[in-house]
Amino acid sequence: MSNILLIDDDQELCELLSHWLSQEGFIVHACFDTASAQAYLAARHQVDAVILDVMLPDGNGLELLRKLRQEFAELPVLMLSARGEPTDRIIGLELGADDYLAKPCDPRELTARLRAVLRRSVNLPSMPSNIVFGDLQYSPARGVVNINDQADIVLTVSEGRILEALLAKPGEPIDKQQLAQLALDRKLTLYDRSLDMHISNLRRKLGAHADSRPRIVALRGRGYFYSA
């Protein structure tokens, strides 16, 4: 059973979602503000994923997401927003959210997205414990990349799964839908830019090759590949 930390100031919604998710086999702990959520995490309770609302009474959920990524880089985070603004979605994904849903959301879709996020927090079974390609070394178990023996680069779960999928077939383009299925464990919907945002973050973290070539290349109509 997975332990879920639900952070939302709407106590009625928290009760509804907690009841639903409990029936689906999850253990849910709800916090209604930033302070109690940070205290719960600081106490080192077992948390397998976080469902985080953008608007909180004592702070911005996006700021809390930023802190989560600094302190718990590999913890899967699914963002919720009552506003559903594209800007919120883009910023949330840029800050490292693994997925994003607008409220009100169908509890069945939330459950499906949550299970997908949790599934992709498990390493791809076909991958070795340490992947070496050129000057890049990636540890799926630790979720960190090392380039030219420099400081470790911490990846989110989604970024790590994308890199694993690309490194499984370097130089070969992977269609966006196929890559989304491999890395995000779901199909992309119309106007869904989540995969593009994760790849943009990954590109920024990895930088270019020593000769200035991009490490991750996009081919219009054919998808993405890791350049050899």
Residue 122, pLDDT score? 60
Do 4 and 48 contact (CB within 8 A), yes or no?
yes
User: pLDDT tens string for the chain (228 positions)?
Assistant: 899 999 999 999 999 999 999 999 999 999 999 999 999 999 989 999 999 998 888 888 888 998 998 888 788 999 988 765 667 677 778 788 888 888 888 899 899 889 888 886 664 445 556 889 999 999 887 888 999 988 889 888 888 889 999 998 999 999 999 999 888 888 887 778 888 989 999 999 999 999 999 999 999 888 999 998
195: nearest Cα among 176, 172, 219: 176
Strand partners, 133: 136
> Domains in the chain, ordered, with CATH?
3-119 (3.40.50.2300), 131-226 (1.10.10.10)
DSSP E strands in the chain: the ranges are: 3-7, 27-31, 49-53, 55-56, 59-60, 77-81, 99-102, 131-133, 136-139, 144-147, 153-154, 216-219, 223-226
Whether pTM exceeds 0.75: no
Do 60 and 35 contact (CB within 8 A), yes or no?
no
